[in-house]
Structure formats: structure tokens, C-alpha cells
Amino acid sequence: MAEDRTITIDDVARLAGVSRATVGRVVGNYGSVSEKSKERVWEAVKQLDYQPNLIARGLRSQSTKTIAVVIGSIRNTYSTALVYAVEKEAQKKGYNVLICTTHEDIEKEIKHLKDLNSKKVDGVILMSAYRADGSMDEKYREFYIGKLPIVFVDRNIPGINRDVIQSENFDASYKATQYLLNMGHKKIGIIATSNFSTVQERIKGYRAALTDAKVEFDESLIASVDELSDKMSRKVCHAFLEQHPDVTALYILNNSLCSGVLLDLKERQIKIPQDVSLLVWDDEEYNELLDLTTIEQPITEIGKQATRRLFELIGEPEETADYECKKLKPKLIIRKSCTAPNQSK
């Protein structure tokens, strides 16, 4: 070429008419790429005299055969199912899985990422403790966008360009709210965890469904729980129902809050669904036993896809990949905890 500059993977991708990720897979000889795309990439490599960073690729090949999963708590149903799915997928590649918990503390998360960088695990699957209403200290950004491959699950951090595998939270929440609205509910109270990106998306879906049904959005009908414990969710539910006795349906955005809510309803002798309808995110065995209507997330598939994507990133050249946010569809499981509102309210 006439230009006196280093040829990059972007130049190859542009000339071949494919993505950077596809060039990485062809040059790195991993993943699935069509023969036609391979031919175009190798032709572009030849024309441009592209020289892949073989040193970086060599360093990547010094595998520890260990990946890490960083989660909020192992007691959380979502996290437990996620770890199980990751371990099963990792075992197929002969990998061990290191589990780190943050207790939803961003400082602990940063410490884990520092340690994992120094211990040289091959990559990380991360359920971040970052709050959607928080701000990222610039000195911490390097731990999220450095050379250590990271795939986010469930939650993302705005401005951090990494792969995210999560549920389609907005759409599922919209449909769940619509389901309650179609039964005649207008006063739908929300019990939610702290302000993670997933919670924001679910509330946006709830709000959009209300708007489309011409039901006024009332921010006071959203109760936030700062700590994932039965004691705290029970306390928040108690205070919420004291303030809003006219609520006809409760929509719980995290299954970990459900037990506390059920305990408060039992104490008040409030019957489900005769007195209040109940709809819950995530589906556990006891939800079925109690006939609770739930939103079932594809947690196993999220874990599988996150692990597979992480292995792709581990094998790619340094100047890698096109990152994307992949959203998988949850399923509304209709049981007997929702019915038309009690007209006496």
C-alpha cells in the first residue's frame, strides 16, 4: 500500500467485507467461519500484507485452564444456576472454575478483578455489582477493559465495551405488566432490589405497559430493597402496604425478595390471589409448589453462551472482537397467584 502505516485488523475486515471478529477467527484458526468468508479474509490479508500479532497470540496460548465467575452471592437462585451452567460448559474444555462473591459491593468486585489479573486466570464471567445510578472511577476502568477477557452476565456497565449475555428484561416486564393490566389491575406495586441495570430495564418495561394502557405511572408504587434478605424484604413490604393498602397486585423483580414478601402477607392474613395478586421474577421449585405466576429466565442458556463466548475471546488475537449485547427471551409461567382485582379495594 502507498500509506506508510501499520495495517490493522480493521483494514482487513473492511477490505474483506466482514467483521473484526470474523477476521480474528480466521487468522487465529478457531470458531466457525464459512469457506467463502475465509477466502475473502485470506485474500485481504495477502493484498494488505497483514501481519497478526503473533507474540500476543503466543502469550494467550499459555493457558491456566481456569476461568473465574464473579457474582453477588452464591445464595442467590440466579447465581447458583448460572455457576452450575458455567461449570458444566467449562468442564467440556477441561477448565476449572474459580468462584468469587462480591456481596454486591463494587469495592470487593474491583479487588477480585485485581487479584484475578495477577493470578492469571484465562478469563472472567462477571455479574457486576455496579449500580446503574453510580459513576465509574476512571482509575478502575482498566480492570474492565484491559487484556483479561471478560463477559458480563445479567448486568452491564454503561461505557464499558464488553460482551453482555442477559435476559430481554424490558420486553418480558412489559408483557408481565400487560398480563396484570388485562386482568383489570391498575394499582400494581413493585418490590425491587437496588438500582442495577436489569432492574432499570424491568421498571422501564412496567412503565411502558402502563403508558400504553393509559394508566398513570406512580413512582411511589416502587419500593426498593437495599439488602437481599428475608428480613429486609419483609420490612419493606410491610411499610409499602401500610402506605398503599389499595394495591391489588404485587410485582416482585427478584425472586430472592419473595420469601420476605410472603411472610409479611401471611402475618397480615392477606390471601393470594383473593386479596392481592403476586407475580415474581425467576422460577424456583417452591414457586411451583405455591402456584406462583413467575417469569422464568433462561439462566442455563445464559451461562452456556457466556462461557462459550469467553472461550472465543480467550482464543482470539489481541486486537480482537466485535462486542455485543445478546438478550435471551424469558418465559411467563402462568399459575394461580394472579386473578382479577378484589372489587372491595
- Walk along the chain (345 residues) and give the pLDDT tens digit of each residue: 444 567 777 788 888 888 877 777 777 665 567 888 888 888 888 888 776 654 444 445 567 889 999 998 887 888 999 999 999 999 998 999 999 999 888 889 989 988 888 777 899 999 988 876 666 666 667 777 677 889 999 988 777 878 899 999 999 999 999 999 999 999 999 999 877 889 999 999 999 999 999 999 999 999 998 877 788 899 999 999 999 999 999 999 988 899 999 999 999 999 999 999 999 999 888 888 899 999 999 999 999 999 999 988 887 644 455 678 899 999 999 999 999 997 765
pLDDT of residue 233: 92
pLDDT of residue 312: 85
pLDDT of residue 306: 95
175 & 292 share domain: yes
pLDDT of residue 161: 79
150 & 109 share domain: yes
CATH number, domain containing residue 238:
3.40.50.2300
> Whole-angstrom Cα distance, residue 112 to residue 133?
22
pLDDT of residue 58: 44
Of 257, 243, 46, 69, the C-alpha closest to 152 is 69
Domain count, the chain: 3
139 & 191 share domain: no
270 & 317 share domain: no
139 & 254 share domain: no
> Whole-angstrom Cα distance, residue 188 to residue 109?
34
243 & 205 share domain: yes
Any domain includes 59 = no
190 & 236 share domain: yes
| Domain containing residue 137 | 64-168+299-328
Three-state DSSP at 179 gives: helix
Pick left, alpha or beta for residue 282 (phi over 0 → left; psi -120 to 50 → alpha; otherwise beta).
left
Q: Are 87 and 74 in contact (CB under 8 A)?
A: no
> Whole-angstrom Cα distance, residue 65 to residue 122?
7
41 & 74 share domain: no
Neighbours of 226 (CB within 10 A): 11
293 & 323 share domain: no
156 & 218 share domain: no
Pick left, alpha or beta for residue 312 (phi over 0 → left; psi -120 to 50 → alpha; otherwise beta).
alpha
Any domain includes 3 = no
178 & 207 share domain: yes
Cell representation of residue 82: 448460572
Of 249, 125, 305, 132, the C-alpha closest to 202 is 132
Three-state DSSP at 280 gives: strand
> Whole-angstrom Cα distance, residue 208 to residue 337?
23
Any domain includes 334 = no
> Whole-angstrom Cα distance, residue 250 to residue 206?
12
Of 170, 235, 184, 249, the C-alpha closest to 213 is 184
Any domain includes 2 = no
> Whole-angstrom Cα distance, residue 90 to residue 96?
7
Any domain includes 291 = yes
288 & 174 share domain: yes
Of 300, 248, 320, 308, the C-alpha closest to 279 is 248
Any domain includes 333 = no
Of 336, 88, 330, the C-alpha closest to 205 is 330
Three-state DSSP at 325 gives: strand
Cell representation of residue 25: 477467527
How far CA 316 is from CA of 23, 56, 153, 157, 200, in Å, comes to 10, 10, 20, 23, 33
Cell representation of residue 190: 413493585
pLDDT of residue 2: 43
Which phi and psi (to 5°) does residue 102 adopt? -110, -15
Any domain includes 249 = yes
Any domain includes 344 = no
